[in-house]
Every structure is written in structure tokens, then in C-alpha cells.
């Protein structure tokens, strides 16, 4: 049973209703936490796929459910429902919740998953930091994905950031100094670091021409990085199978267009040149650590794949 903590409307803990018995259970103390928020730069729908796979494949118990009415702008991000002949059904209520999950080896962990709040970021961040401190979370990891000028024929890249050097060194392939739009995950990372908590963020690099489609291969990579950081065995079998099918479709589409082949070939050449010799600067940025213009990413590839495979 979920109960809302009483207190002022400005109290961060009033943002969520908690499963009191589970929330105060000793078994939740000292676990690792994974976070994934949909709605921001989810290239390849990586976060959506990871959240869905974890919640569908593993036993999930709600620990705390956040109040969507306080956090979301419904008019800018309208939920979906179904109109069936003469009635409405299947309203997809926005959900942002903290769950207790158990991995493939029986090891429990926490998952904070759902929509990225539109409103009250600082109050939401305080609520999450409070939860992390109350549960004495060992390590917080979070993930999102961005489109990058990389070919799908090379290993999925990742940028790691946070205050755990052993999780960053030797993994990040992109270390620029750039100004980027903030996400709530970034704010949470800042506030967690300020609170002296362990945190690591993972940015999965998705080929720009596949950013609008579901790209299971990138989701698998994300789960593998999260699993390695938290010593968890996370499920990837279904996503691997989907990835093989998507890769087959991509290969067929590229084979059918010489123009697309040339663009992918140029991306491969650039990637290999930057990766040669284990260069420590960005593999993807130019000499000034600037991201290439969108025109350089091969608009022909994106247009072609979107036209040939609009459902993916």
C-alpha cells in the first residue's frame, strides 16, 4: 500500500507516495540504483527499451511513486489513450516510480524509471537525494543516449561521467568540453555529487541516421555498461534478438542504395582515423572539439532509412 508522506506542499518528500513497509525494510539499505528518464534526447529509444526490458523481465515492486500532476506539463507532452468505436480506453497514465528489482542472480537493486519531469526539477532532485540518503544507496548510475556521427558497423560508443574515476577511465571515447542542454539526470548527478554520493552517468552514442528508430543494439550496450558498473546481471536476450533483426533490415536497406553506402563508408573512415592509436581526445569531434554540423551526418541516410522503414 502506498502512502504519501505528510508535510508542507514544498516538502520534497511530498512529491511521492511510498510503500511504507518496503521503504523502511532493511533489505533496501545499501543497494545500487539505476535511473532512466524518457523524454530527453532518447536517441534510438535506448532508455525506453532499457526501462521496458527491466520492468517486464524482472520482478518489480514499487517502492515510491511520484505525483505526475506536480511534475508533468500535460499540454506539451500529452498522454495517449485509445478511442474504440464508441468509448475511450487504455489511458496511458504518465508514471515515474522507484522500484525494487532482482537481477538474474537474485541480487536486488533499485530502478528509478519513467518520464523526465517538466516541472520542479530542484524539488524533485532534493526528493531523490533524500531517498538515496535514507536508503544509503551504494552507487547511482543513470543512462541516456544521443545521436552521433558514427557508423552502425562499429562498436557502440559511450561517454561516462560522474565522480567514480575507475568507471570512467578507459571507457569514455568522447572527452570534449562543450555546452549542452541540461536534463534532469544532469541535475540529479550534480546534487548527488554535492551530497557526497557515488554517481556515474552513461551516454550511449547512437548513429545519427538511426536516432528516430528503436535501435536495440544500443540498448544492449547500455545494459551491459550498467550491469558492469553495478555488478548486476541484467537481461539482454530479447533485445539481442531484436537487434539481429534490425541489423539485417539496416544491411538490406544500405545494400539497396549506393548513396547511403558512400555516407556510411565516410563515417567508418572518420571513425577509424580518430580511433587509430587510442587517441585520448574525442573520437567524434573535430580538432576544436566541436560536433559536426548535421549536414555532415548524411541527411541522405536518415531520409532513406526513414522512408524505407518508417515503423522501426
* pLDDT digit string, tens, across residues 112-124: 999 999 999 999 9
Taking the CB of residue 164, how many other CB atoms lie within 10 A of it? 16
Lowest mean pLDDT among 168-177, 216-225, 226-235: 168-177
Can you give the pLDDT at residue 26? 96
What is the tens place of the pLDDT at every residue in 68-123?
999 999 999 899 999 999 999 999 999 999 999 999 999 999 999 999 999 999 99
Q: Is the pLDDT of residue 300 over 80?
A: no
Spatial contact of 37 and 185, defined as CB atoms under 8 Å apart: yes
Answer whether residue 307 shows pLDDT above 60.
no
The pLDDT confidence band at residue 41, using thresholds 50, 70 and 90, is confident
Residues spanned by the domain of 34:
2-308
Mean pLDDT over 192-207 rounds to 97
Q: Which pLDDT score is estimated for 3?
A: 59
Looking at the 3D structure of the chain, how many domains does it have? 1
Instruction: Report the percentage of the chain scoring pLDDT > 90.
Output: 75
For 169-174, the CB contacts below 8 A with 24+ separation are 171/225, 173/205, 173/275, 173/282, 173/283, 173/284, 174/148, 174/203, 174/205, 174/282, 174/283, 174/284, 174/285
Phi and psi, residue 164, nearest 5°: -120, 85
**CA 34 to CA 228: how far, in whole Å?**
12
Q: What is the pTM of this model?
A: 0.85
CA distance 30 to 139: 9
> What does the pLDDT read at residue 205?
95
In the 8-state DSSP scheme, what is residue 204?
E
DSSP H or E stretch at residue 158:
strand 158-162
Per cent of the chain over pLDDT 70 is: 84
More confident residue, 101 or 260: 101
Average model confidence (pLDDT) across the chain = 87
- Confidence at 1, pLDDT banded by 50, 70, 90: low
Confidence band, pLDDT 50/70/90 cuts, at residue 9: low
Domain harbouring 141, CATH code: 3.40.50.10900
Whether pLDDT at 34 is above 70: yes
Amino acid at each position: 500500500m502506498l502512502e504519501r508522506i505528510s508535510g508542507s506542499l514544498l516538502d520534497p518528500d511530498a512529491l511521492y507516495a511510498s510503500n511504507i513497509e518496503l521503504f523502511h525494510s532493511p533489505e533496501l539499505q545499501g543497494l545500487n540504483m539505476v535511473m532512466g528518464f524518457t523524454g530527453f534526447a532518447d536517441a534510438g529509444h535506448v532508455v525506453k527499451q532499457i526501462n521496458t526490458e527491466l520492468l517486464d523481465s524482472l520482478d518489480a515492486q514499487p517502492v515510491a511513486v511520484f505525483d505526475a500532476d506536480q511534475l508533468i506539463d500535460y499540454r506539451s507532452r500529452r498522454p495517449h489513450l485509445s478511442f474504440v468505436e464508441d468509448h475511450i480506453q487504455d489511458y496511458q497514465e504518465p508514471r515515474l516510480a522507484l522500484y525494487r528489482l532482482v537481477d538474474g542472480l537474485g541480487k536486488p537493486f533499485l530502478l528509478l524509471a519513467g518520464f523526465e519531469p517538466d516541472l520542479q526539477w530542484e524539488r524533485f532532485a532534493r526528493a531523490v537525494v533524500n531517498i538515496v540518503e535514507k536508503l544509503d544507496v551504494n552507487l547511482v548510475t543513470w543512462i541516456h543516449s544521443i545521436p552521433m556521427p558514427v557508423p552502425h558497423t562499429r562498436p557502440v560508443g559511450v561517454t561516462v561521467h560522474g565522480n567514480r574515476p575507475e568507471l570512467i577511465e578507459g571507457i569514455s571515447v568522447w572527452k570534449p568540453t562543450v555546452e549542452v542542454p541540461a536534463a534532469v539526470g544532469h541535475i540529479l548527478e550534480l546534487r548527488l555529487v554535492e551530497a557526497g554520493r557515488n554517481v556515474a552517468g552513461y551516454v550511449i552514442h547512437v548513429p545519427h541516421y538511426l536516432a528516430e528508430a528503436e535501435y536495440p543494439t544500443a540498448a544492449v550496450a547500455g545494459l551491459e555498461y550498467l550491469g558492469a558498473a553495478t555488478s548486476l546481471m541484467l537481461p539482454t536476450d530479447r533485445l539481442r534478438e531484436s537487434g539481429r533483426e534490425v541489423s539485417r533490415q539496416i544491411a538490406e536497406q544500405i545494400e539497396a542504395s549506393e548513396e547511403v553506402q558512400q555516407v556510411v563508408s565516410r563515417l567508418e573512415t572518420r571513425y577509424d582515423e580518430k580511433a587509430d592509436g587510442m587517441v585520448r581526445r574525442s573520437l567524434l569531434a573535430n580538432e576544436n572539439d566541436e560536433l559536426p554540423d548535421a549536414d555532415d551526418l548524411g541527411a541522405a541516410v536518415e531520409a532513406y532509412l526513414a522512408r524505407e522503414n518508417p515503423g522501426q
